[in-house]
Structure 1
């Protein structure tokens, strides 16, 4: 809990500094927030030497960082399982460097080869740039001939991501499963607190969890950066879907499906907002259809 509070406080301070910077025309808020993470990473403790080879390279022109267990990868006839990792950061922050402690530990504790993808970030590179980069790397790794060059087993590749990276992992897994031309498919997808739906932003998981760290303003800004569209807070209070759409799709995000032992802290969220705005609904159709068609 103390770590969550520290993270929440840090993000609020960084967000405030970014807002001040943008207001005074020094630098864009997203630029300040992104680079604050690069400053914090320099404060990390020194790493203990382990039997791990770490290499910064490119795969199909996409920058990656590859972690290989030395004690297992010396046998050139033994191909290792692998993890294709996509970092979080609201689609406009984060990097292989900010998530280095996580990916390094993954490689050490699993004895897997871990490939951390440095996908392009918004707002310079809005959707679908990040998806395309992650797909390039993953398809390369899943190709048996390419996998051998990396000393990994193309039939034992897990797709993993946290937060925004969890969204990317889910998208990549679905695209591979639906693509008849895919050479191979991932065996496992691991989604760590993923961003997987914006149909209902009034779920208690949003109101009591995400907003402790990521308020409505920053959530709206992240969507704007990623989609390269103007997003209003109407989307975040469910005025972007009609009553008919709510009734049709509510079953897929039904809060009552949560295990009974967890429901005690929940009250029924707002799902049938009668204040849905036809103008907002019409304006948001463009980017929703764009995303779904691409996926």
Structure 2
């Protein structure tokens, strides 16, 4: 028996489907959309990335609350899956895994080797809040291959141990010992590297480690070799003021939110995670805290930042704070963890620097203040600032998820190394 066609029913179903589509689209838009600065490069791409991060974070929090694993391990598993999807098809570079002073590394070398001419070298430390990231996969692997190919250089990426399995100072010591090992004359000779043409480089937490290693190598008489340059890509350099102008301006700008940065610090230093709210309020550096004036001077952004960066933001210095924080977490005042706190004498022995900062990044002022302090100590500094950039852009310089500003940033710092290393 033939079915009867009911136009009113079909029209109702069509309206229902359209209504459902509109509601679904609105829900997705609501979840994806967050207010972003107008000058930010390719904002819709960043919205998608931020939404994906929020989704992963929510799943991780649920999994962690069920006792199925530490949240950092779960996030790293997700990062591994994503990074493994990035195709690594880069000709002209060979790589092999090794250990430098018991620290796992990967060494990249151009396949076209001139046995007569010595080459330059870059020791690279990856970012990820001292707890995330896989330097031998995806974007970091491609970045190191690109540096090796375009600079005709040996590139060593250090696979340092990470939180929560280890805490400060293990990450720093891994990077320092691997760098010292590479700077040994016999190791440099093995890789045909000219001893006077070695740089350290790192992004974010890796920039923190690169700055700390450059300081130590500069003053360490036991190291036979030396560093010519340090490249610090949006580095994190202090944990005493989480209310600098850039922290206030960019506290909710992806992909590094202010609260997330404080969380990374607490994980790195092995501190009580419940301190996060006190640190967000700067209770650890309140007026009643025992904090030497020189430390305050080293991160006095009202003096160290130009007026156009300070804008109308004001320092946050509570009258009364939490007296036990600096005592319970002494690493907050350790320049190996917070290189911005180093004495001028130490800074004066550090290598020439290239410091990249992003306008829409909570860490912008860390890098800017450090650049000025290095200059005051007599060190040559190139400050490269991007008005349309966000934290982490260098990791998004490769297909399938790339940003034009990320590509530009990578090309700029490699070009600087090409000219100066």
Partner in structure 2 of residue 255 of structure 1:
301
Residue in 1 aligned with 2:119?
80
Q: Which has the larger Rg?
A: 2
SS at match of 1:180: coil
Shift of 1:17: 1.6
State the secondary structure of the residue aligned to 2:129.
coil
Contact kept? 2:184, 2:224, Cα under 8 Å: yes
Q: CA RMSD in A?
A: 2.5
Deviates more, 1:162-171 or 1:60-69: 60-69
Q: 1:185 Cα shift?
A: 1.6
CA contact (8 A) 1:229 1:287 kept: no
1:280 Cα deviation (Å)? 3.4
1:214 is aligned, of 249, 256, 260, to 256
Contact preservation (8 Å) 2:248, 2:313: no
Match of 2:325 in 1: 280
1:57 and 1:145 map into 2 onto residues whose CA distance is 16
Conservation of the 8 A alpha-carbon contact between 1:239 and 1:281: no
Residues 162, 146 of structure 1: alpha-carbon distance in 2 compared, 3 angstrom cutoff? same
Q: Aligned pair in 2 of structure 1 residues 291, 124: CA closer, same or farther (>3 Å)?
A: farther
Q: Is the 8 A contact 1:166 1:192 kept in 2?
A: yes
Aligned match for 2:291, one of 232, 245, 249: 245
Task: Say whether the 8 Å CA contact 2:217–2:223 is kept in structure 1.
Answer: yes
Give TM-score scaled by structure 1 length.
0.88
Equivalent of residue 265 in structure 2, options 219, 223, 232: 223
**Which of the residues 86, 105, 116 maps onto 1:44?**
86
Q: Which stretch of structure 1 is more off in the superposition, 75-84 or 224-233?
A: 224-233
Match of 1:236 in 2: 280
Partner SS, residue 94 of structure 1: coil
- Asked whether the 8 Å contact 1:242–1:281 carries over to 2, the reply is no
**Could you list the per-position Cα deviations for residues 112-150 of structure 1 after superposition, in whole angstroms to 9, with x for gaps in the alignment?**
211111111111011121111111221122122211111
Match of 1:90 among 113, 121, 129: 129
- 1:44-69 deviations in whole A, cap 9, x for unaligned? 1352x421112222222221111111
Q: How does 1:153-192 map to 2 (within 5 A)?
A: 153-192=194-233
Structure 2 unaligned blocks of 5 or more: 1-40, 340-421
CA contact (8 A) 2:94 2:109 kept: yes
The 1:210/1:65 distance shift into structure 2, 3 A limit, reads farther
| Misfit runs of 4+, over 6 Å | none
| Alignment of 1:271 onto 2:316 | yes
TM-score (norm 2): 0.63
TM-superposed CA distance for 1:85, in Å, is: 0.1
Alignment partner of 2:187 out of 136, 146, 149: 146
Which structure 1 segments of 5+ residues have no match?
A: none
Q: CA deviation at 1:291?
A: 6.3
